[in-house]
Amino acid sequence: MVSEWAKSFGAAMVAISEISAEKRKAIEGFGIADVVLRADDENLNELYRDVSNGGFDVVFDCAGVASAINSAIKYAFKPETRDRKCFTGVALPHNDLTLDYYNIVLKEIEFKGSKGHLPSEFEFIISALAAKKVSFKKYITETMKFSEVQEGFEKLKAKGGSNGKAIIIIL
C-alpha cells in the first residue's frame, strides 16, 4: 500500500524489492510498482541504480530488516550529496538494528519513521478513499464474519503470513 500512496503523491517511478517469490507475484498482480526486484539478487545494489536512473530520492522500508535498510542507505540513493534523499521506515523491526550511520550522515539522508496512527492521518485516508485517489479493494483477499476471525488468523498463520495483513472492522 505504501507504493499506492507514493504514486498518489506523484512518484514518477516505484520499485519494490521482495525476497518471497509468492509476494513478488502478488505485488506484480496488484500493478502498484513499475519494477519488482528480487531482494536476494546478488546484483540488487546495481539494479537499484539501473532502474532508478542513478538513484532514488525517497525510500520506504516496509520490512524492518537491517540488511535491507543498510543496503538502501548505501546503494539506493542518488550519489550527489545535495540531492534530496529521504528514508522513511514504516515497519517495526523485530529487534534492535545496527544502522549505517556513517552513510546516513555522509549522504545527508533525512531518516524518519512513520506508523500512521494519528487521527488526522485516518481522516486524510478516508478523504483520499472517498475521492478515489487510492483504492484498497484489490488488496482484500477474503472477508469473514467476526465469529470467524480466530479461524482467519489461523489460516493466515498456516500460510506463513504471506497473504499480508489482517484488518478487522466491526460495524
Length of the chain equals: 171
- Domains of the chain: residue spans and CATH: 2-135 (3.40.50.720), 140-171 (no CATH)
The pLDDT confidence band at residue 80, using thresholds 50, 70 and 90, is: confident
Radius of gyration in angstroms for the set of CA atoms belonging to the chain, rounded to a whole number: 17
Location of C-alpha cell 519494490:
16
What's residue 163's pLDDT? Answer: 55
The pLDDT confidence band at residue 161, using thresholds 50, 70 and 90, is: low
Summarised one tens digit per residue, pLDDT across range 35-49 is 999 988 999 889 988
Q: Is the pLDDT of residue 78 over 70?
A: yes
pTM here? 0.78
DSSP one-letter string for 90-107: -S--SS-----HHHHHHT
Location of C-alpha cell 535491507:
68
Query: Phi then psi for 84, rounded to 5 degrees?
Result: -65, 130
**Cell of residue 123, nine digits:** 481522516
Residue 130: strand, helix, or coil: helix
Q: Is the pLDDT of residue 171 over 90?
A: no
